[in-house]
């Protein structure tokens, strides 16, 4: 049952025509938000918007490509034109090119980074300029555990998600004092078309059928992931800034990037010796 915690809020979600983006739109609309459904697939954007309206919500489709600054600015402008304001930006859109890293082309890298990373930059900044005028707002970037774990055949995706993490941390420091919270969600392995295809590819390489079965069993449904995005948009969630949260059906986790340190036994003005480094590095990693 809805608690109306997003009543009166206007939310723009990129890549909301399907998958997790659509799940975020449905969950946020259920809490009272008006949704600008952005997707370069105009039919998918319109379909999600129609579904939200049929459920009693307010929604507007938008097909601008957020890979360009002009597209991101047009998305924000549409939110303000149609609904009068923009309170929340969710940068979810992605477009992946995958394959062995030595076989990827420059275009593969550019296409992936343009939507995932550059699109997140453009949308975050375009939204922040509008939010700054009101002295409040919320930006939710979508990263992945791939930013620190790495995944074979997905180097551009991993690099993009690492950039999004760094973007979020930088924006949180600068925009927080302006009343704009900036956080990220890192979805677990979720039942979206790209993820399911990747799981089947990975399952085929596993040594035993039970390993593949366990991998498939770990897949979450988008509906179990979406509530964390809704929470970050609420007044309680906006008290957070610079955080990365992961939600599944049975667990919630926060990701921190920790640093371990080894101090020299004695202070010295001389550089570390290679023998000292061999010992120290071995104790760290």
- pTM here? 0.91
- Give per-residue pLDDT as tens, 12-30: 999 999 999 999 999 999 9
Q: pLDDT-based confidence at 37, cuts 50/70/90? A: very high
Provide the percentage of residues in the chain whose pLDDT is more than 70.
92
HSE at residue 227, side-chain half, CA atoms within 13 A, is 13
Is 165 annotated as catalytic? no
Burial class (CB in 10 A: 0-12, 13-18, 19+), 105: exposed
- Mean residue pLDDT across the chain: 92
Q: Of 157, 165, 198, 231, which residue is the catalytic one?
A: 157
> Which is more confidently placed, 60 or 221?
60
């Amino acid at each position: 049952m809805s608690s109306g915690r997003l009543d009166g809020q206007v939310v723009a979600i990129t890549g909301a025509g399907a998958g997790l983006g659509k799940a975020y739109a449905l969950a946020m609309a259920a809490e009272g938000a008006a949704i600008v459904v952005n997707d370069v697939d105009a039919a998918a954007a319109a379909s999600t918007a129609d579904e939200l309206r049929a459920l009693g919500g307010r929604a507007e489709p938008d097909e601008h490509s957020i890979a360009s600054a002009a597209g991101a600015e047009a998305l924000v402008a549409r939110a303000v034109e149609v609904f009068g304001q923009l309170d929340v930006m969710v940068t979810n859109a992605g477009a992946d090119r995958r394959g062995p890293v030595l076989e990827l082309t420059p275009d593969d890298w550019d296409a992936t980074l343009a939507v995932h990373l550059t699109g997140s930059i453009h949308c975050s900044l375009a939204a922040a300029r509008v939010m700054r005028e009101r002295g409040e707002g919320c930006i939710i970037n979508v990263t992945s555990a791939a930013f620190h774990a790495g995944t074979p055949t997905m180097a551009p995706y991993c690099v993009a998600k690492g950039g999004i993490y760094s973007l979020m941390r930088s924006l949180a420091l600068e925009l927080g004092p302006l009343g704009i919270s900036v956080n990220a969600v890192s979805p677990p392995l979720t039942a979206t078309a790209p993820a399911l295809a990747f799981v089947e590819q990975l399952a085929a390489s596993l040594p035993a059928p039970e390993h593949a079965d366990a991998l498939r069993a770990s897949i979450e449904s988008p509906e179990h992931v979406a509530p964390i995005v809704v929470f970050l948009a609420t007044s309680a969630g906006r008290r957070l800034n610079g955080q990365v949260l992961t939600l599944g059906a049975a667990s919630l986790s926060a990701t921190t990037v920790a640093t371990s340190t080894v101090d020299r036994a004695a202070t010295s003005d001389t550089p570390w010796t290679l023998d000292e480094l061999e010992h120290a590095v071995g104790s760290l990693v």
